[in-house]
Amino acid sequence: MASLIQGFEEINLTKPVGKTVMTITASAVKFNKATAAELGYPAYVKILINEKTKQVAVTPTTAKATNALKFSKSEDKQTSSVSIKDAVLVAALLEHFTLAEAPEGEIAYQSVKGAVYPEDKTVIFNIEDAVAGTMKRRGRKKAAEAETEAAE
């Protein structure tokens, strides 16, 4: 006798993580929370570059690995994007990204979506797919900026 539920498939209740995005500015490299989630919220990563294919890869590593960068908190504590302000890393990546001049009070950036390779626990970003833009500065305003805005 055939089972009543023969031919049915279970519905996957794992919600999609979302698009992985890397954003580079003159002072930092940021990865959205989806990137941290896809990599399994690793405490440390290695960031690799392929000069020939013009790609940047991010892959988990250990704290003792050469060139390891502090990355994510645990899943329950990582509430927002991951920002890496390592000057050597930013300078190395900026050789491949061109930041436009930004108007006063704004920051120029390049943003690129990544491709996830779960079997390799790696996210790869194609530099040539980067999109340029500017965003308002966040955080505390300098005293001079605050006075100028108050006067306006």
Top-confidence residue, 148 or 69: 69
Residue type at 133 in one-letter notation:
G
Residues facing 84 on adjacent strands: 29
Query: At residue 151, does pLDDT exceed 50?
Result: no
Phi, psi values for residue 145, rounded to 5°: -65, -40
Query: At residue 49, does pLDDT exceed 80?
Result: yes
Strands (DSSP E) contained in 94-138 are: 106-117, 122-126, 131-136
Query: At residue 63, does pLDDT exceed 80?
Result: yes
- Residues whose CB falls within 8 Å of the CB of residue 31, separated by 6 or more in sequence, listed in order: 20, 21, 22, 23, 58, 71, 81, 82, 84
**Token pair listed for 128:** 């040539």
Instruction: Supply the pLDDT for residue 77.
Output: 93
Q: Domain-by-domain residue ranges, the chain?
A: 21-136
